[in-house]
Structure 1
């Protein structure tokens, strides 16, 4: 086998970048936990000594951390002054929790990916899956933190209005089930925006439901239930929502079929899934790269750890998702909205 020097150098360049990204992922988590990004936001140029003093941390560690951040392009460095600064754009990504482009949650979930790597390797070798119940706790926190900014930016102002007649229905008062709600961020956003409607968040992971219930205190129009998507109790819903969860389910057709039986004849199922084309070649891009990796590490093992084990994957695409919805009893399906990270499908009986 004869090596192509040009291709080899290009690949080595990619791998150096990958190693740097992997090493710095841990440092992003450190920066989040110690409040380093938040302390830099809006302060202008700052020295390592000043940041260490403000965060009660060791200056030598901070100097090295800042250097790594500057080499990654995560903070700015001024050679003339030797000072570091978090730009407005960098603050939006790392420091501002309510920012629609905050990406810290994706890094937090990586702790679980590496902590559970041996379980994944075992599943590769021997089959089966790695269920949500087996995952490190930081997977749940990280997943919620990753998706929540996008939900906050899009759910009420963009996604719900893309569904015909839904805003008027919610303002009058409707019955809504949020299936696979996790920590309940999507449920709580809707319940806060539409006080005349009643919301129930449903998830089979009891610790997540406990967390969601804690955050729901003070909201009279929302409750949470520990139950599976394919057999939860309840009927007569005007709207059912599933946010980034259907592809993780072992039996997505069974879940959709149960929802079809629980929804009113004129009700709507809103399905939010990771953005993807229908073919592999459509998804060979930076966003697809993130989601294929997350799917391999988390989504496919989660599905294979349940009954049926359909393993749709996080890049299922609209055509495959439509087949699932049709098989579950929804005859009318259309894409109503999309972002770089999500697609929204509206399904009716």
Structure 2
């Protein structure tokens, strides 16, 4: 039943109770993810509570309670084996909760929400005073959750998606093309571009030092140090010249998006390509909103808007950056037009090309 269809206090109470159950399930998923319980069940199950605790170096009593909760929530299946209660993780759940290479991987979402929940006192203060809570404040759980949930999409879908747009593919495939990955995070997008275009040189930049360090580690592990460089800098200091520049799911977080876009426009040659990937929200607010609207407003309330508000001055865009807002930023930065690229079914994202 939609909230718009709720009439009585009892119906509203049941609606809130359902939401609370979802929140409890999400935090329980976070426990299972961070303690290695899901992975142990996927790799070694079925397991009893005692066996699960032994294999993961955790407490048996807590493992028992968590398994009981997971069975009650329908996350695991329970059976009797030689008089001992054992638990299994279904194959679909194992992929969604433990396979970091799967497009269905969702455990990082629980990690992100747990990170935000841990900052609730700071969020309350920010909401009262107009202050902010930065990504640095949210810490590693949020930082690596963001990287991990986007990684399989970059590794699996970025190359074929870009290749399916001929005018973009041609630019990236130029001999010795220079490509900027602005706000590259943990480096997965830069690595994916380098693998897709073996003659290109990729320059990733990010303002977050831990992300830069992690991205450099990933580049070394991928054996791409000769073509991928990761620099600690902000988007406004982007130098050139570049054949192309990408901003993957980051423009809405930036306190000064117009300044960054202006720097990108100056850095990329007029016959090059500037691409912004951001949330595929509707052009106009919808009430009630669909899954994408609700998810992105949730991110905005807990993560993206507080991060933007932690800087001064700030555009305070928030996660729900609708196409007209992006077009306004692009026009102010000196771009002449914005087109939506024909890239679909790429998670919850939309790809825009900004034209000189």
How many residue pairs are counted as aligned between the two chains?
344
Structure 1 match to 2:62: 61
Cα deviations across residues 166-223 of structure 1 (Å, max 9, x unaligned)?
A: 3344344311000011121211221233221100111112221122112211311001
Q: Structure 2 stretches of 5 or more lacking a match? A: none
Aligned pairs (5 A) from 1:1-349: 7-41=8-42, 45-77=46-78, 83-158=86-161, 160-171=162-173, 172-217=175-220, 218-219=223-224, 220-232=226-238, 234-281=239-286, 284-336=289-341, 337-339=343-345, 340-349=347-356
Q: Secondary structure at the match of 2:235?
A: coil
Cα distance change on mapping 1:166 and 1:113 into 2, 3 Å: same
CA distance in 1, matches of 2:192, 2:287: 32
Cα distance, 1:140 vs structure 2:
0.8
Q: Secondary structure at the match of 1:144?
A: helix
Cα distance change on mapping 1:36 and 1:321 into 2, 3 Å: same
Cα distance, 1:47 vs structure 2:
3.7
TM score, norm. by length of structure 2: 0.88
Q: Structure 1 stretches of 5 or more lacking a match? A: none
Cα deviations across residues 126-153 of structure 1 (Å, max 9, x unaligned)?
A: 1132333433232211211222233233
Cα deviations across residues 281-323 of structure 1 (Å, max 9, x unaligned)?
A: 1771223222111111121122222243112211112222122
Q: Name the stretch that deviates more: 206-215 or 51-60.
A: 51-60
Structural RMSD (CA)? 2.4
CA distance in 1, matches of 2:288, 2:152: 23
Cα distance change on mapping 1:23 and 1:201 into 2, 3 Å: same
